[in-house]
A and B are shown apart, each in its own frame.
Chain A
Amino acid sequence: MSEREEIELLLPWYVTGKLEPSERARVDAYLASHDDLDLQLAAIRDDQDNVITFNEQIAAPAAGGLDRLMARLDAEEPEAPRRASFMEALQSLFGAWGSPALKLAAAALVVLVVAQSVALTTLISGQQPGSTFETASGSGAGEGVDLMIGFKPDATAEQIRVLLEDAELSIVGGPLPGGLFEIRLNSADGSDGELDAVIARLAKRGELVGQVMRAE
């Protein structure tokens, strides 16, 4: 690419004042001896004025947008009732019962029922406890898209492969406009908490991941 072509590429940011000082000095030096670029500069200034005017003609957002946002936050904000643990549920259940002896008997009954359930499940499935459940399709994951990811332009294919493997993710679509990929969590139970955790983990890989968020 010739020096002239390189300078021409920088002209819009020269006009908007968004060049690094060294680039700006370079453009200044070139323009000082090439006034034939004045027409381009004039066209750029003209374009910028028109784009600003065009944007300012866009009607202001309707009133009430903030109210709607806050209403949605109110709807989302209440913490989901914390799911009681198994032991807490037992305590709650037995707390309503009378004597310590009755509580002990009830607890023993629950333990027996749970143990029998495990034994029956193992017997029916022919599997050992701890083996994984697998659907006919070979995967427990849903077919939908969980996340959208944009990778940094300089991320290599190998780096992306390792990242996806580590996070147990699969690319199921893309690239979309802007280089976005549709991602499915292989091991996800689909809960909001798990998605948030994965998003947070990916967001920390800023050297590879440009953007990451839930799919709509």
Chain B
Amino acid sequence: MNQAASPAAAQDAALIERIAARDRLAIQALYGRYQVRLHRFITSLTRNEAIAEELTNETFMEIWRVAGNFEGRSAPSTWIFSIARFKTLSVLRKRSDAELDEDYAEGLEDDGDTPEESALKQDKAGLIRLCLEQLSAQHREVIDLVYYHEKSVKEVSEIAGVPENTVKTRMFHARKRLSELMQARGIDRGWP
């Protein structure tokens, strides 16, 4: 898939070029195009919407600063997501557990039920959501990038900074783990 050739990618690239020339309207336009997507992506990584909002703006500040470095080697959206991911990991690494659930950041699982979890268990959609939240941070990230943001293998590789084969196997293990978690909660889909 040649993402760079799509009209949306061409528009993004043009906006980034204008941002490099310090065009404020261009950063506003890019913000409009990516704010929600980045907010959701970062929220899924941090599980903290307030921090996601802060990091979304940090991402755009970084785009403003480094737009001149964008050379079109990757699709604009891939470049933007990689910046967001970079910012998020940097914060996840530094923030204390007062602001972030460290167990979550490290992908550990917790079998204890919070009141919210108890409520979610009342229906199938809630159970599936719980299973998604129980995935490790790495698995959650790759599932989110592939299923929601519809990134190709190459794009996920560029965003996450890992080889394409690692992306494929990580995704396989992520969906296998998800099915196992669902099975443990009584949702059997016949695989694995």
Please list the residues of chain A having a beta carbon within 8 angstroms of any beta carbon in chain B. Answer: 8-10, 12-13, 16-20, 39-40, 42-44, 46-48, 50-55, 58-62, 65-66, 68-70, 72-73, 76-77, 148, 150-151, 153-154, 176-180, 196, 199-200, 203-204, 206, 210-211, 213-216
Assuming the A-B contacts A18-B151, A48-B147, are A9 and B69 also in contact, with contact meaning beta carbons closer than 8 angstroms in the complex? no
Whether A178 pairs with B147 at a CB distance below 8 angstroms is: no
Whether A216 pairs with B90 at a CB distance below 8 angstroms is: yes
B65 to chain A minimum Cβ distance, whole angstroms, is 8
B98 interface residue (CB < 8 Å to A): no
List 6 A-B pairs, Cβ < 8 Å.
Answer: A12-B147, A13-B152, A54-B128, A55-B44, A203-B71, A213-B83
Please list the residues of chain B having a beta carbon within 8 angstroms of any beta carbon in chain A. Answer: 1, 22, 24, 27-28, 31-32, 35-36, 39-40, 43-44, 49, 52-53, 56-57, 60-62, 64-66, 68-69, 71, 73, 82-83, 85-87, 89-94, 125, 128-129, 132, 137-138, 143-144, 146-148, 150-153, 157-158, 160-163, 166, 168-169, 171-172, 175, 178-179, 189-191
B111 to chain A minimum Cβ distance, whole angstroms, is 21
Picked from B49, B57, B71, B171, the residue with its CB within 8 Å of the CB of A9 is B171
Whether B171 pairs with A12 at a CB distance below 8 angstroms is: yes
Whether A153 pairs with B53 at a CB distance below 8 angstroms is: no
Whether A50 pairs with B128 at a CB distance below 8 angstroms is: yes
Whether A50 pairs with B132 at a CB distance below 8 angstroms is: yes
Residues of B within 8 A of A196 (CB): 65
Whether B64 pairs with A61 at a CB distance below 8 angstroms is: no
B126 to chain A minimum Cβ distance, whole angstroms, is 11
Determine the distance from Cα of A177 to Cα of B187 in the docked complex, in whole angstroms. 32
Whether B31 pairs with A176 at a CB distance below 8 angstroms is: no
Residues of A within 8 A of B89 (CB): 176-178, 180
Interface centre among B28, B93, B144, B169 (most CB of A within 10 A): B93
Assuming the A-B contacts A13-B152, A47-B147, A55-B144, are A179 and B162 also in contact, with contact meaning beta carbons closer than 8 angstroms in the complex? yes
Picked from A12, A77, A199, A216, the residue with its CB within 8 Å of the CB of B175 is A12
Assuming the A-B contacts A13-B153, A18-B1, A55-B148, are A179 and B90 also in contact, with contact meaning beta carbons closer than 8 angstroms in the complex? no
Assuming the A-B contacts A13-B152, A44-B175, A47-B175, are A213 and B86 also in contact, with contact meaning beta carbons closer than 8 angstroms in the complex? yes
Interface centre among B52, B56, B147 (most CB of A within 10 A): B147
Assuming the A-B contacts A51-B147, A53-B125, A58-B39, are A66 and B31 also in contact, with contact meaning beta carbons closer than 8 angstroms in the complex? yes
Whether A58 pairs with B49 at a CB distance below 8 angstroms is: yes
Residues of B within 8 A of A148 (CB): 86, 90
Whether B56 pairs with A61 at a CB distance below 8 angstroms is: yes
Residues of A within 8 A of B60 (CB): 69
Determine the distance from Cα of A50 to Cα of B133 in the docked complex, in whole angstroms. 12
Assuming the A-B contacts A52-B148, A55-B148, A148-B90, are A180 and B49 also in contact, with contact meaning beta carbons closer than 8 angstroms in the complex? no
Determine the distance from Cα of A151 to Cα of B158 in the docked complex, in whole angstroms. 10
B177 to chain A minimum Cβ distance, whole angstroms, is 11
Residues of B within 8 A of A177 (CB): 89, 92-93, 137-138
In chain A, what residue has the closest Cβ to B133?
A54
B71 to chain A minimum Cβ distance, whole angstroms, is 6
B140 to chain A minimum Cβ distance, whole angstroms, is 9
